[in-house]
Amino acid sequence: MTGKKQFIFLIAFLICFLIQSKLHGQSVKDSTRTDLDFAATGNVQTGNFERLQFINQLDFSMDSKNRKWNFNSRHLYLFQKVFENKSQDDYLTRNFLTYRIDKKLDVFGGFFFEKFFIKRININIQYGLGTRYAAVKKSRAFVQFGLMGSYAKKKYMGSNFKDFDNGGGDTIDGFFISPVLSSKFVLVPKRLIFNFLFWFQQDITEPENYRFNLETSLLAPVYKGLSLKVGFNDFYENINLVGAKANDSFLTYGLNFKFNR
């Protein structure tokens, strides 16, 4: 199963790359812009201690000819196995269709799909609408605030929750309000870039149903689209099954490939 998922992820990357290349061939004529980012890191250890780990992330973005519309899609896959025990097999995708009202303000529709083996969440589906405002938009600094309203339905791998009564069911749904802060800073031109993303989701009818996510990364360009990348992610989920922890943190390092036309 592991090899199959890795193969599917690789095929998805290649397909996106071919699409990007095709669009590049058209860009001379219609000025469409596409961006493709692929980051990968992993660890293989054998002998007295055996571990297999993969962390892959794919980002795809495409602008319309008039720059008014944008489609952005992020895919993240994390897998880890210690000896013969699978400890992580997580996948998430976040997709946005955005309409730019002006240079700083836009509105968007979003669709998310998540599967968190590490948190014993079988499926989480979320969709909604929102708006974003770029408070700072310069060549070396970008700061954007966003707000999204959404509906989410989450199915867990069990029904025994910790400090939460769900009536014996394994599914929790609700309507969420989500403030978002994203930023990008060029610390050293062509040498060092810092990215920051934070969002908080609160169920408007259930105070205990909330979560938040922090993503930071440092990129050091090496050659053209190739960069060294160090990232830190912190994810908190307030409602959990018994035996699952609320907080998970990841420190990753590896290579990042960026293609844009």
> 3-class SS at 56?
strand
pLDDT at 13 over 60: no
* Encoded tokens for 24: 């590049």
For the segment 109-120, the average pLDDT, to the nearest whole number, is 92
Asked if pLDDT for residue 49 goes beyond 90, the answer is no
The model scores a pTM over 0.85: no
On whether the 2-260 domain is CATH 2.40.160.40, my answer is yes
Mean pLDDT, all residues of the chain: 86
176: phi then psi, degrees, rounded to nearest 5:
-115, 150
136-179: pLDDT as tens digits: 999 999 999 999 999 999 999 999 999 899 999 999 999 999 99
Q: Any idea which of 101-110, 151-160, 231-240, 252-261 has the lowest mean pLDDT?
A: 252-261
d(C-alpha 156, C-alpha 152), whole Å: 13
pLDDT digits (tens, 9 = 90+) for 199-212: 999 999 999 999 99
pLDDT of res. 193: 95
pLDDT tens string 128-137:
999 999 999 9
State the amino acid at position 161 in one-letter form. F
CA distance 43 to 55: 9
Q: Is the pLDDT of residue 260 over 80?
A: no
Q: Is the pLDDT of residue 3 over 70?
A: no
Locate the domains of the chain by residue range.
2-260
Instruction: Quote the Cα angle for 234-113-246, to 5°.
Output: 30
